[in-house]
Amino acid sequence: MKTVPIAGHDADYTRHAISGSATGLRRITPAMLPAEATAERFAGGDITPGQALAALKAAAPRLGISPRMIHAIDWLFRFTQPQDWQPGARPIVWPSSSMQAAELGVTETQARRINRHLVELGLIVMRDSPNAKRYGRRDARGRIVEGYGFDLSPIGARIEEFRAAAEAYRAERASIARLRRRATIARNSLRQTWQTYHEQRIEDPALPTLRAAAEAASAGLRGIDAADALAIAVERLETTARTARQALEMALAYGSSAGSDSVEMSGRPDKNVRHTTSTTENLNPPDTVLASNECTSGQRQGTEQNNEKRTDRGSVMKIRPDELIRIAPRLKPYLRRASPSWPEIVDAADWLRHDLGISKPLWGDACLTMGREQAAIAVAIVSTKPVEHFRTTPGGYFNGMVAKAREGALHLDRTIWSFRTGGARYPRTRISPNDTGYP
């Protein structure tokens, strides 16, 4: 068979094409092939370039398309016209490589990489001319007669996919926003819980574990931007917040009991309680909710633990109100007169116990266990101790006193006698006979 020689430019191009190394021919990767099939599905219709581009931009975050790629597509859409998207037409644009590189602020090599990636994303198809040049022409009505360059048909073919992805993305972002709000509420709940623990000076052995769990749950939210994963993390944080709140409620309700295994109010009972009161009788009231009311003046009288008769200004445990003020001058700012009655002493002790960090539930428990006046005397005695005297806190020391009173091992009368005989010194601050100092 006789071959016919091919001459000139056509001969060179044919030889390179057959060998697979033609100058200017585009390298095709497997990831680029699906874009061709997608482009074939485009048939045009009731669609505008603005609608196609808007659908793509809305779906881009959901599809993982970077802003850099969207910027490149946006620039290509500058060259397309509405009639290019009608039935029977094809949206092809043909800006030069030098113009594209200059407009995008990249080199021509970088521009080629961007174009290849756009094809791999299934957004464009490259339509090459026989000489691998980009060019095109339109007729008098502006319709493309011939065009080689960037075919935007895949975007038109995928517009419904983009719209669905955009809607799913909006729904997911709304779900994520709701989950973020729930996380904020849970964090605020935890902050309130920790603040209450601090203000009430509650020492709960479980508190470090609760705080560590809360910190871990909160840290687990960082970097999560998927609704499903975020929901699991938020539920974990909310569970931790509920557990912490339940622990706080238990502490406030039951923590003042010395027998509590989980929570102790106002610090752990101080075992180093060396004074204490006359033997007391545990009332074991059926309704502990009324404990704090037992110490409110004008309400029910506490049980008389020492069974001695007295008036409101008489002696309790052989001590009168004026002598108690001399022993514990920190009661003075809460009294209205220099010769108070015992109900007024009890009210002053209720104010003073707050300064000492003695919780309200523990104060109520003390009133039920010792009686109102003896509880006030115990608070007054605690107020005479220097800070270094306590192994834990004043509240913990007072808790230890209540525990001993419950066991019948607290003898406040001995402590009072120690003050009188010089075994315990009166505080340096005393009430001057000429200085009432009362409001």
Q: Give the integer Cα–Cα distance in Å for 80 and 2.
A: 49
The continuous run of DSSP H or E covering 136 comes out as strand 135-138
Range 323-340 average pLDDT:
87
Q: Identify which of 152, 144, 133, 145 has the alpha carbon closest to the alpha carbon of residue 78.
A: 152
Region of poorest pLDDT, from 173-187, 228-242, 268-282: 268-282
For residue 59, what are its two tokens? Answer: 């779906």
Q: What are the residues facing 148 on neighbouring strands?
A: 135
The span from the CA of 126 to the CA of 32, in Å, is 10
Torsion of CA 332, 256, 284, 374, to 10 degrees: -20
d(C-alpha 145, C-alpha 125), whole Å: 18
Residue 151 backbone phi and psi in degrees, to 5: -95, 120
Mean pLDDT, residues 155-183 taken together: 93
Give, in order, the Cα–Cα distances in Å from 190 to each of 42, 195, 224: 56, 8, 21
For 69-121, write each residue's pLDDT tens digit: 999 999 999 999 999 999 989 999 999 999 999 999 999 999 999 999 999 99
- Distances in Å between the Cα of 222 and the Cα atoms of 225, 233, 234, 242 are 9, 10, 11, 21
The yes-or-no verdict on residue 436 having pLDDT over 70 is no
The percent of residues in the chain predicted with pLDDT above 70, rounded, is 75
Q: 27-157: what fold?
A: Arc Repressor Mutant, subunit A (1.10.10)
Please report the pLDDT score of residue 7 as a whole number: 40
Residues in the chain: 439
- Rounded Cα distance, 364 and 346, in Å: 12
Q: Please report, as a single letter, which amino acid is at residue 229.
A: A
**Mean pLDDT score, 249-259:** 58
Question: Which amino acid, one-letter code, is at 72?
Answer: A
Residues 150-165 have pLDDT tens digits of: 999 999 999 999 999 9
Measured CA angle at 426 (ends 423, 431), to 5 deg: 155
Q: For the chain, what is the mean pLDDT?
A: 78
Q: Which of 73-82, 328-337, 417-426 has the weakest average pLDDT?
A: 417-426
Domain borders along the chain are: 27-157, 170-254, 288-421
Q: Is the pLDDT of residue 364 over 90?
A: no
Residue 139 exposure: Cα atoms within 13 Å on the Cβ side:
7
Query: What is d(CA 25, CA 33) in angstroms, rounded to the nearest whole number?
Result: 16
The CA-atom distances, in angstroms, between 21 and each of 8, 16, 145 are 18, 5, 30
> Rg of the chain's alpha carbons, rounded to an integer?
43
pLDDT at residue 13 is higher than 50: no
* pLDDT tens-place string over residues 121-160: 999 999 988 888 899 999 999 999 999 999 999 999 999 9
List 151's β-bridge partners, or say none. Answer: 92, 125
Region of 365 please: left (phi>0), alpha (psi -120 to 50) or beta.
alpha
Residue 234 has pLDDT above 50, yes or no: yes
* H-helix or E-strand spanning residue 146: strand 144-151
Q: What percent of the chain has pLDDT over 90?
A: 38
Cα angle value 93/99/100 (rounded, 5°): 65
**Which of 56-70, 100-114, 296-310 is predicted with the least confidence, judged by mean pLDDT?**
296-310
Strand 144-151 relative to strand 135-138, pairing: antiparallel
Q: Is the dihedral of CA 188, 189, 190, 194 positive or negative?
A: positive
Which pLDDT does position 257 carry in this prediction? Answer: 41
Query: pLDDT tens digits for 270-299?
Result: 544 544 333 333 333 333 333 334 454 433
Give the mean model confidence (pLDDT) for residues 207-222.
88
Highest averaged pLDDT of the listed ranges 8-12, 230-234, 278-282, 334-338: 230-234
